[in-house]
Structure 1
Amino acid sequence: MESFVERFGLWSAEQQAQADAVVGRLQASEVDVVRFAWPDQHGLLRGKTLVAEAAQGALRDGVNLTSTLLAKDTSHRTVFPVFSAGGGFDSPGMQGGADFTVVADPATFRVLPWAPRTGWVLCDAYTSDGSPCPFGTRQILQRALAELDALGLEFVAGLEVEFHVFKLDDPSLQLAHAGQPGEPPRVSLLTQGHQYLTELRYDRVDALMDLLRTQLAALGLPLLSLEIEFGPSQFELVFGPTAGLVPADTMVLLRSAIKQICQRHGYHATFMCRPRIPNVMSSGWHLHQSLRRKADGRNAFMPEREGQALSETGLHYLAGLKAHACGAAPLASPTINGYRRYRPFSLAPDRAIWARDNRGAMLRVLGGPGQNATRIENRVGEPTANPYLYLASQIFAGLDGMRRRLDPGPSADAPYETAADQLPRTLSDALAALRADSVLTEQLGPRFVDYYCHIKEAEIARFNLEVSEWEHREYFDMF
């Protein structure tokens, strides 16, 4: 009997061979269980864990998950009427909590170094007829990459990821702390902060840094550096350039790995942009990106003459990023908290501009003639972003700039004074900008944009029902 993969022709010949190699490792009793992990609409990993014997068949038959997972906001609440006609998705196959199928990408198989005898594989989502799930974000990035491939180009990205790690004092698992979401854990600092990049601060947390370094290296992630960031208990990891899906796959695995590793050793790691602690510094995710010509492997952004910031292709791509900066904002910064980052002169960009090697600009251009590492650094993202949507938005925006041969204008050497379109200051404004961006809406898919905005608007509605501490402090005594 044909498997799900065979029936719908979901794998390439290379993936078939990779799957055979994975089955060989399972038959050799290398692991006891395999986690089939699927990145959901938020870039969070969900899935099921199968014993090794069952995992052998599931590689090709897929694993069924309830479609209600597609209806969750960040509190894990279902925000679509899943038992109505079409399940609230305008999709008859998803009503009533019906199943969808996640199929492993065997190229992503790993053995987790922190979880004894545990395999892990990343999956893509499909409907019962073998069609890509319309809300599968990894497949949206695959579509964007296919458009580049048709032009003989390849997407290359490097990651700079900031985050916080605290000592876990109390996981807040008492009955009184249950909820959706429940009480956050109680934590204390590992560093006081404000000694940016000092060796002394680094040495004080060397045990944690060495723990992360060894575990991430064992996963095969392209880690380059571990750094003490400016804020209390804040850190940064930098990863070397990789191509295609790999940067996004790296990011989802990285976040999950760090949280799991830290939890097992008495720490709490968070990629939340701006935790509520005194003297906090916001965390960002700086995305370094370029295009590579498949014919000769050369960087397509590298200029040919002195005085040029980028090649003609690079300038058009840069102009596309600038033109669609507001529409792409909710994909780069998808949480209410992420917009707390925008403060004057905070190294968080506040307008859609570019500049040569200037950290105040949204788009920082690095490199030049003869420098194969020539690239654009987008500094707008927060580390909670779904990497498939963030990267896809960059490619779709850049491609539009290339097709229309857009001009990015001059370098903005005074980034907080240059007249330019202001970036959205709230998640609501960012969602409105996405809906108004006809190019991104068409490329992502109007149905997907409606779906994504519905989830995010449900989160905003819940936020607006809460009475904040600021309101209570401001008005309770005064009035």
Structure 2
Amino acid sequence: MSTSFAERFGLWSAQQKAEAAEIVGRIDAGEIDVLRFAWPDQHGVLRGKTLVAEAARGALARGINLTTTLLAKDTSHRSVFPVFSAGGGFALEGLQGGADFVVLPDPSTFRMLPWAPRTAWVLCDAYMKDGQPCPFATRRILQRALTQLGAQGLEFVAGLEVEFHVFKLDQEAMALADAGQPGTPPSVSLLTHGHQYLTELRYDRVDGLMELLRRELQALSMPLHSLEIEFGPSQFELVFGPTAGLAPADTMILLRSAIKQICQRHGYHATFMCRPRIPSVMSSGWHLHQSLRHAEGGDNAFMPAAGSADPLSPLGMQYLAGLQAHACGAAALASPTLNGYRRYRPFSLAPDRAIWAQDNRGAMLRVLGAPGDSASRIENRVGEPTANPYLYLASQIFSGLHGIAQGMDPGPSADAPYETPARQLPRSLDAALDALQADAVLVEGLGQAFVDYYCHIKRAEIARFNLEVTEWEHREYFDMF
């Protein structure tokens, strides 16, 4: 008797089996026409296939096949490994020749997409054909970090503050000459002029967009807390309440895709690019609020005891020290694009050095905690909203665990964050990749093979960028010399 992929390799828990049965029941009841099987790739971009209901019913436990060449793509969707050489260019068995790997749904992530009629969605994990986790599957890396944390009786909790831009879509660039890798971006115009941070009038002018996003995101059961007008032109921020384990990263993955799809359907263009090339632009960041809680009882493990002189518990201060110690190595995971490094500049509310401070938005690590405050936490302000959330969160856990294991001390609060002597954060993606490869703790946590793979992709993107002549170069030198 044949068994499904999930059964054969024991990949689902009892709860996941029950959740899968509920999905099958909804298919059989005629609620679903199509089901999207979505897999987060190395960049945190969702890829996958859409199956009609009848086919999706059997594919839930069987999984679906995707080509291993997807693992070879940079952000232009170019393959940067020799995929038809031995090992597929990865030097790993089973990845050669554009062979298939399997993506298997995690039934707990099932959603009905409110903007797409009778369309369901489920997030998948990647496996090799022998049932082993795909070595380059980033969701699995975060799962591994959470397991290490769980071995100490602790759980990871995070809340998200995500900045992004939304523009009026004036014209899609769809002429024949606009095709390419990447193609020509669309023409857009502003929804707000900017520089009226948190003003009610600015919010009211875009209430239609804000109400659209609120309605659709809450229909996805996302823990939305607030919608805000940010400082820059056409810039916005959404804040999400704390969730635990994989949930913060899964929320971020779905959030980015959802906002882009919702906006596109209503004549807008949304982008999570850190610093779009528009006049008077303000960079977008992703501020990650994080803490640990005790698995037994659920108490905040960062909350200091009464009378403590520190804003966090001893364990919290050690975790904080680990984040600080590995900040340079983790930078390539928190800010993985060339564009993201244009954000780091002094006095810009973006950090430029590896320091912490109590409730100071100029510091990389803003600490919010006090005795009796069950929301005691650390806000890491280094990330950009394009980051793969599984890698970003995993880097935090691996760093924090090292700080706890070594009993690290983060030193005093840096109350003048742009003047306090400290290690400077990497100023370019290239420097950040060097720092990652030199960080033994992060290399061990992520895996040497994964770090080599990730850096290869990112250096291929840098090499393509360096082949281009920028507008700045042309303006600077073409007439003068």
TM superposition score normalised by structure 1:
1.00
Question: 1:44 corresponds to which residue?
Answer: 45
Structure 1 CA distance for aligned equivalents of residues 365 and 19 of structure 2: 38
Question: 1:65 corresponds to which residue?
Answer: 66
CA shift digits 1:396-442 (9 cap, x unpaired): 00000000000000000000000100000000000000000001001
Among candidates 419, 424, 429, match of residue 426 of structure 2 = 424
Q: Compute the displacement of 1:351 (Å).
A: 0.2
Say whether residues 1:226 and 2:195 are aligned partners: no
Among candidates 365, 383, 386, match of residue 384 of structure 1 = 386
Amino acid at match of 2:401: L
Say whether residues 1:140 and 2:124 are aligned partners: no
Among candidates 341, 344, 353, match of residue 343 of structure 2 = 341
Q: Compute the displacement of 1:464 (Å).
A: 0.1
Say whether residues 1:448 and 2:450 are aligned partners: yes
5 Å-filtered alignment, 1:316-327, equals 316-327=318-329
2:415 match: secondary structure: coil
Q: Compute the displacement of 1:187 (Å).
A: 0.2
Question: 2:269 corresponds to which residue?
Answer: 268
Structure 2 CA distance for aligned equivalents of residues 455 and 112 of structure 1: 32
Question: 1:395 corresponds to which residue?
Answer: 397
CA shift digits 1:352-392 (9 cap, x unpaired): 00000000000000021001000000000000000000000
Question: 1:375 corresponds to which residue?
Answer: 377
5 Å-filtered alignment, 1:54-203, equals 54-203=55-204
Whether the 8 Å contact between 1:308 and 1:369 is mirrored in structure 2 is no
Amino acid at match of 2:366: R
1:237 match: secondary structure: strand
Structure 1 CA distance for aligned equivalents of residues 218 and 390 of structure 2: 23
Say whether residues 1:33 and 2:31 are aligned partners: no
Question: 2:360 corresponds to which residue?
Answer: 358
Q: Compute the displacement of 1:176 (Å).
A: 1.1
Amino acid at match of 2:83: V
Structure 2 CA distance for aligned equivalents of residues 343 and 477 of structure 1: 30
- How many residue pairs match? The answer is 479
Q: Compute the displacement of 1:91 (Å).
A: 1.2
The runs of 5 or more residues in structure 1 that have no matched partner are: none
Choose 51-60 or 274-283, whichever is displaced more: 51-60
CA shift digits 1:65-118 (9 cap, x unpaired): 000000000000000000001111111211110000000000000000000100
Question: 1:477 corresponds to which residue?
Answer: 479
Amino acid at match of 1:207: G
1:128 match: secondary structure: coil
Amino acid at match of 2:220: L
CA shift digits 1:277-296 (9 cap, x unpaired): 00000000000000000111
Structure 1 CA distance for aligned equivalents of residues 445 and 243 of structure 2: 24
Among candidates 409, 412, 420, match of residue 411 of structure 2 = 409
Question: 2:260 corresponds to which residue?
Answer: 259
1:213 match: secondary structure: helix
1:92 match: secondary structure: coil
1:442 match: secondary structure: helix
Structure 1 CA distance for aligned equivalents of residues 396 and 369 of structure 2: 19
Structure 2 CA distance for aligned equivalents of residues 428 and 343 of structure 1: 17
Choose 169-178 or 154-163, whichever is displaced more: 169-178
CA shift digits 1:110-144 (9 cap, x unpaired): 00000010000000000010000000000000000
Question: 1:245 corresponds to which residue?
Answer: 246
Q: Compute the displacement of 1:456 (Å).
A: 0.1
Q: Compute the displacement of 1:308 (Å).
A: 2.0
2:160 match: secondary structure: strand
1:47 match: secondary structure: strand
Identity %: 78
Say whether residues 1:207 and 2:208 are aligned partners: yes
Structure 2 CA distance for aligned equivalents of residues 224 and 93 of structure 1: 44
Q: Compute the displacement of 1:305 (Å).
A: 2.7
Structure 2 CA distance for aligned equivalents of residues 298 and 358 of structure 1: 25
Amino acid at match of 1:385: A
1:318 match: secondary structure: helix
Structure 1 CA distance for aligned equivalents of residues 344 and 326 of structure 2: 19
Question: 1:280 corresponds to which residue?
Answer: 281
Whether the 8 Å contact between 1:191 and 1:233 is mirrored in structure 2 is yes
5 Å-filtered alignment, 1:304-319, equals 304-306=305-307, 307-319=309-321
Whether the 8 Å contact between 1:153 and 1:292 is mirrored in structure 2 is yes
Q: Compute the displacement of 1:344 (Å).
A: 1.6
Amino acid at match of 1:446: Q
1:402 match: secondary structure: helix
Question: 2:441 corresponds to which residue?
Answer: 439
Structure 2 CA distance for aligned equivalents of residues 52 and 173 of structure 1: 32
Structure 2 CA distance for aligned equivalents of residues 272 and 103 of structure 1: 30
Amino acid at match of 1:387: P
Structure 2 CA distance for aligned equivalents of residues 391 and 200 of structure 1: 36
The runs of 5 or more residues in structure 2 that have no matched partner are: none
Structure 1 CA distance for aligned equivalents of residues 385 and 444 of structure 2: 26
Structure 1 CA distance for aligned equivalents of residues 427 and 23 of structure 2: 46
> What is the Cα-based RMSD across aligned positions, in Å?
0.5
Structure 1 CA distance for aligned equivalents of residues 216 and 205 of structure 2: 19
